[in-house]
């Protein structure tokens, strides 16, 4: 997220296994976190939060990614109230496409 805040340019790859087609979509990413001033974007963020499973949502309560975990058994039990809205760590990323490229088939 910090890198996207400094440079919002991004590219995603969409691959169709049956036809072996690959699309590359270039654009800019809009980061929607809990501090976003736009109420419609906050509504999108909340809708996206509740569209995911409780198990998926609970991942946002764990330790910061990249930090070592000493022992799996010493990790505290993570509980999440499924009726509560997005936690602070949850961001919705929206790619606004500028260009779609389709490379030649191999």
Task: Report pLDDT digits (tens) over 18-43.
Answer: 988 889 999 999 999 999 999 999 99
For residues 4 and 93, the answer to whether their CB atoms sit within 8 Å is yes
Average pLDDT of span 69-94: 79
Alpha carbon distances (Å) from 94 to 10, 11, 30, 86: 11, 12, 5, 16
pTM metric for this prediction: 0.76
């Amino acid at each position: 997220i910090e890198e996207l805040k400094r440079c919002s340019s991004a590219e995603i790859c969409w691959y169709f296994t049956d036809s072996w087609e690959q699309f590359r979509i270039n654009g800019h990413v809009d980061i929607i976190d809990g501090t976003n001033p736009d109420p419609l974007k906050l509504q999108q963020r909340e809708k996206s939060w509740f569209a995911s499973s409780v198990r998926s949502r609970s991942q946002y309560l764990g330790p910061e990614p990249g930090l070592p975990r000493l022992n799996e058994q010493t990790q505290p039990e993570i509980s999440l109230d499924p009726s509560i809205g997005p936690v602070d760590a949850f961001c919705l990323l929206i790619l606004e496409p500028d260009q779609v490229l389709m490379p030649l088939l191999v």
